[in-house]
Amino acid sequence: MDTQFLQDNWMLVSLAVVSGGMLAWSFLGSRLSGIEQADTLKSTRLYNDDALILDVREDKEYAAGHIPKAKHIPLGNLNSRIKELDKHKNKPILVTCRSGQRSARACNMLKKAGFESVFNQSGGIIAWERANLPVDK
């Protein structure tokens, strides 16, 4: 490998390494944390099997359209309202948001609080709507 190139372009090389690491973390982070991802098919199965659907979006987002039967607790309120979910500690919970980022954080919070069967909805409500699945307003 040409060390002169690396020395002359150390910032570019650093940027490539950091970008690659961030990309790898986005794919592996939730797997390493023990949070299972649920694609649209898995989400539909969980929904049909009466899993708790937990929507962690903000009020306006939830009002614009949500999965039928979803319980709404915005991510910022989850810690203070987590006791509301205690009866579901041993049951499946599908956590959703707009795209899957906030729901991943909520899944981590639930796991730390002792919830056993937590799933992050991959792609969030965006994926749900793209699959033409039902939405309540």
- Whole-number Å distance between alpha carbons of 119 and 20: 26
Output the CA–CA distances (angstroms, integers) from residue 52 to 5, 34, 115, in the order listed.
54, 19, 12
Is 107 designated active site?
no
Catalytic residue selected from 94, 97, 106, 125: 97
Instruction: Show contacts of 108-116: CB within 8 Å, 24+ apart.
Output: 108/33, 108/35, 109/78, 109/79, 109/82, 110/82, 110/85, 111/33, 111/34, 111/35, 113/82, 114/89, 115/85, 115/88, 115/89, 116/89, 116/90
Catalytically active residues are: 97
